[in-house]
Amino acid sequence: MEKYVKIKKLGEGSYGIVYEALNKLTGEVVAIKKLKRKCTLEEECKNLIEVKALRRIKHPNIVKLKEINGENGNGNVFLVFECMECSLYDRLKNIRMVSFSESEIKSLCFQLFQGLAHMHGNGYFHRDLKPDNLLLSKDHGIIKIADLGQARETDGEPPYTDYVTTRRYRAPEVFLRSSVHDPAVDMWAMGAIMAELFTRQPLFKGDNGGEVLYNICSVIGSPTESKWKLGLQLAVNMNYQFPDLPGVPLASLLPSASSEALCLIATLLSWNPCLRPTAMEALEHPFFDDVTPPIHVNKDLPWKRALLKPARSSKI
């Protein structure tokens, strides 16, 4: 790592510490993630889920892994990424920045669904989508999915870890410790993120799982046998009693959102994972009929299909 000079610490998560750094040879500014996990062998490093996923799924709306660097002898592993300007969380919490317009929200969410469609289509789901893990370009026109440390393969063997996704964006089936979950958990998170883009406030707050589930019920109404029979069974299995709440119209919480936006968010926030749209289906929603492509898209190609083709890559 001698060719890099650390500039500043950008953040720290469960799996690593991220620094902004300068490549002394090229002058390029990059983001370097020092993994907390040690790897003594090169093959062990290549088999880390984040490394496997990023080497396979290359897409304009997924952060680019530029280099894998291990320090012989001490087991340290460094992942070198392209450097983005800030996270969506930083942007939402910056009181000096004006709120996103619906056209901006439309463009950002469409890009995210493009990235997720590619990710899911290539055999992975993220499991930790939240504003902190969504990175914006300098002019805030481009957004990319980052931090795949908790990603899983879609055909992976259960049971899955029940602690995935920050509480405010965690799908109900994860709270209820379902032994199996799938890309639908990413779609729930996208519903919560979309709502937050309109208000700059999390839709489902809470200091623990019970509080968040209560707030979910207060917004979308408690689940019933017809809405999500399996969820009620999961709740019984863990001795959880859903509160009896009717919910409220989403329009009352998101007054600036269009009817098309409200419709998409409501569908993404379905109790039953099977009723949430896939990323591909979300891209076809009427909310995106007049979406404006960001600068990185070849406007000569059909916009809604331009970024959906899976990348060719060899398996690890």
Dist. CA 159–CA 229, nearest whole Å = 21
- Is 128 an active-site residue? yes
CA distance 110 to 287: 10
The tokens 């002019």 sit on which residue?
139
For residue 250, list its beta bridge partners.
Answer: none
Exposed, middle or buried, 161 (CB in 10 Å: 0-12/13-18/19+)?
exposed
Query: Residue 67 carries which side chain, given as an amino acid letter?
Result: E
Contacts of 249 (CB under 8 A, 6+ apart): none
> How many CB atoms neighbour CB 298 within 10 A?
10
Place of tokens 């990175």: 135
Neighbouring CB atoms inside 10 A of 178's CB total 21
Q: Which of 90, 128, 139, 300 is catalytic?
A: 128
Query: What Å distances lie between residue 65 and 26, 215, 240, CA to CA?
Result: 17, 37, 42
Q: Which residues are catalytic?
A: 128
